[in-house]
């Protein structure tokens, strides 16, 4: 599915999203991550031994939430994307996405470097989405 232009714009602009995965026995796991959007797909990096990567290796369904809070509730906005995750462990696509992440988050390269073999890039292909306050 293709995300609406306004939803993509919000996803691209915001700096942090929340990623929900499912572990053993259906246990939910939600964590904040730094992300980029490339050609309608979401990407984020993680340590290869992290809980979210272990969860996605067995259950690739994922939900990603970006929201903007305001005390003026007429200005609340957000998008939740449900999708399928693919783990990218190395290669040209790993390096290309890493470059995009480092460009959006300059501190990434020194504070949380993504290394082939030690890190994983997660690609989220949207299957459905819901938005609110997004025009």
CATH number at residue 41: 2.30.110.10
Q: Is residue 121 a part of any domain in this protein?
A: yes
Q: What is the 3-state secondary structure (H, E, C) of the chain?
A: CCCCHHHHHHHHHCCCEEEEEECHHHCEEEEEECEEEECCEEEEEEECCCHHHHHHHHCCEEEEEEEECCCCHHHCEEEEEEEEEEEECCCHHHHHHHHHHHHHCCCHHHHCCCCECCEEEEEEEEEEEEEECCC
Domains of the chain: total: 1
Q: What is the mean pLDDT of each run of 10 residues along the chain (135 residues)?
A: 92 96 95 97 97 97 96 95 98 97 93 92 97 90
The pLDDT, as a whole number, for residue 26 is 93
Provide the pLDDT for residue 2: 87
Is 89 a member of any domain? yes
Domain of residue 72 covers: 5-130
Q: Quick check: is 101 in a domain?
A: yes
In a domain, 11, yes or no: yes
Examine residue 135 and state whether it is found in any structural domain, yes or no.
no
């Amino acid at each position: 599915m293709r995300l609406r232009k306004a939803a993509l714009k919000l996803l691209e602009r915001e700096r942090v999203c929340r990623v929900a995965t499912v572990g053993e026995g259906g246990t939910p796991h939600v964590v904040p991550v730094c992300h980029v959007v490339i050609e309608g797909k979401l990407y984020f990096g993680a340590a290869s031994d992290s809980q979210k990567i272990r969860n996605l290796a067995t259950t690739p369904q994922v939900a990603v939430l970006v929201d903007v809070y305001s005390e003026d509730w007429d200005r609340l906005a957000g998008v939740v994307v449900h999708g399928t995750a693919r783990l990218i462990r190395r290669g040209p696509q790993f390096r290309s996405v890493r470059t995009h992440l480092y460009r959006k988050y300059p501190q990434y390269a020194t504070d949380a470097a993504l290394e082939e073999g030690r890190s994983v890039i997660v690609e989220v292909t949207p299957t459905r989405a819901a938005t609110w306050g997004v025009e």
